[in-house]
Amino acid sequence: MSSINELQYALRIGLSIARELWSYKAKGWVTSIWATDIDRDGDIEIVAGSKDGRVYILTKDGDERWKQVVGKKSPVETIVAIPPAKGRENISLEANSVCACVLVGTRDGKVYGFDKDGKEVASNRHRTHEENTEERLGENRLEDTSWYTSSHVLRNIYANLEENGDIFIGSEDRYIRALDYYTGGEHWKFETGGWVRAIGMCHMKGEEKSKILVGSDDKHIYILDQNGRCINKRNVQSQIHRLFVLDINRDGEEEILLGTDGKELKVLTTDLQEKWSHPPDLRRFSHPGLPAGQADGTQGDEIRRPQLRAGARLD
């Protein structure tokens, strides 16, 4: 890339109003990113997954806290970081069990759990190994400690233990599944018309319980209740790659932001009415706190260089 092209790219992604705080070099393309306080110590941790089958935890200053090999080193497709529900920082439903704060979905259709210190948590919710070494793990590992196994590529994992005790998994088989975080049992599944790429939660006006949002390749966004029943849906005319929920105008009501392959960012109300849309300079929008894409380029944009960067606004 020429210096002029590099400058044009830097200006386009906003470096004219931001400066780099730090960067971290991973061993493979960074395919998934999440940021949250996984141990409730008051500091945000950055969680990242890479194409070479590793998960990384960094401090807010970009220092490596730990990294681990995931399963048989199948590329990481999706990550969710889950702060323990308040009061459950060190316990789960079973005695001697531990809380998995990081769940990782891989291209070979498996979900793995890790605690806040990087130790793998098996499907029975017990810590399995003190250290995940290259010799013990990777392609030659014999034991299967995954929480869930599918014959399809996993596209998205979502969980919010403050709102719901389930893990939501979306895959290329067109289903979203709700699994009990503490036992692994399947509560329900819902079929869409395409790959399930985006999952989230929202609060509807006048409703006490949160609702589950599902974005699919069939160009629909679905709203499900906590029993997996569809209560609303909308055709947005483009495949949905990412969604994010936030009260963006601080009026007390949440908005749903959708990143699509239709060259626009859409903003909807929680009853799925469009508020506005914006055509970006790039082909797709991807929310930076959710998985960024797949290595073959079919799931939105990803960080193709093995590097994580953090920046700050200049104003």
**Predicted TM-score (pTM) of this structure:** 0.79
Identity of the amino acid at 163: E
pLDDT at 296: 35
pLDDT at 14: 58
pLDDT at 91: 45
Q: Which of 153, 246, 148 is nearest to 196 (CA)?
A: 153
pLDDT at 175: 98
Block mean pLDDT (10 aa), the chain, length 315: 64 63 89 90 93 94 94 93 67 52 94 90 68 51 79 93 89 96 91 96 88 97 97 96 91 93 90 88 47 35 54 47
pLDDT at 11: 62
Residue whose entry in the numeric block shows the structure tokens 């009260």: 247
pLDDT at 68: 93
CB 70 within 8 A of CB 139: no
- The dihedral region occupied by 31, where left means phi > 0, alpha psi between -120 and 50, and beta the remainder, is alpha
CB 106 within 8 A of CB 127: no
pLDDT at 8: 65
Rounded to whole angstroms, the Cα distance separating 53 from 306 reads 12
Rounded to whole angstroms, the Cα distance separating 141 from 72 reads 7
pLDDT at 219: 96
